[in-house]
Amino acid sequence: MSTIRIVEVGPRDGLQNERRVLGHQTRAELVRRLAAAGLREIEVGSMVRPDLVPQLADTDRVLADVADLSLDRSIVLVPNRRGLERALEAGAPAVAVFAAASDTFNRRNIGRSTEDALAEFAAVAAAALAAGVPVRGYASTIFGCPFEGAVTSAQVVPLVEAMLEMGCYEVSLGDTIGVGTPEQTHLLVEDVARAVGLERIAVHMHDTQGRGLINTLTALDLGVPAADTSVGGLGGCPFAGEGATGNLATESLVAALAQRGQAVDVDLAALTDTADWILRELAHDPT
């Protein structure tokens, strides 16, 4: 049975919309605890403007604080070429770029059309690869957009193809507002597989309607080798609606895989303790 890779996105995607802003020491401690629990690929932050996203300010200091960890990948999200420059200056081991399958979402979220976003990220990817830094891609709004409604695989597949062509080692398919079903997941994964295969595909399922786990397991059963999750279920899209839950909790996926005999090398007790700790730091009630 093939090993499932888990990409932990809590320190970036999980924290970016939180009301409470954590200092870089606490965010570095979160990365350290996640690594100690056995997670080997962690999205540690983003090089966005600190005045716009103060939750992710000082990502360069987080990187410095965790530089001694032996992770397979520490990933930093970069929104543009300036963000990449900052990531390279900080010694980021890997970077990520992101675009939505919905043109309106791109315009509202990053101020560019899909075409312009892909052109920008192609330049970012080329510069990163020239510097020896691998690039991950995120293709978001794979099932639905809060502005356009339903999104089809005919919109998603070309986006995935473009990201792979620009040199991304992997593209993560994101159900940004958490509206997908297992049936939709099955159909989209099949369409993506026909176009590009599944070796360089991951899934990033939000739990807005309580289907994050089943949608993720559906994709994994079809041969997708990796899944993004967030400790404590932190995160979620601000466009998903008031009170919407966030990402699929890492501990939920680890527990489900263990029950199915697909155990990953992660200490579930340590992971659960980490989830309780970070939820307390954020003034949430532990789940």
The residues carrying an active-site annotation are 237
Pairwise CA distance, residues 168 & 163, whole Å: 6
* C-beta of residue 117 within 8 angstroms of C-beta of residue 110: yes
SS3 readout for the chain: CCCCEEEECHHHHHCCCCCCCCCHHHHHHHHHHHHHCCCCEEEEEECCCCCCCHHHCCHHHHHHHCCCCCCCEEEEECCCHHHHHHHHHCCCCEEEEEEECCHHHHHHHHCCCHHHHHHHHHHHHHHHHHCCCCEEEEEECCCEECCCEECCHHHHHHHHHHHHHCCCCEEEEEECCCCCCHHHHHHHHHHHHHHHCCCCEEEEEECCCCCHHHHHHHHHHCCCCEEEEEHHHCCCCHHHCCCCCCECEHHHHHHHHHHCCCCCCCCHHHHHHHHHHHHHHCCCCCC
| Cβ neighbours for 100, distance < 8 A, ≥ 6 positions apart | 106, 109, 114, 139, 140, 141, 145, 159, 176
Whose structure tokens read 């159909």?
Answer: 187
Tell me how far CA of residue 42 lies from CA of 37, 128, 228, 238, in angstroms. Answer: 12, 18, 9, 22
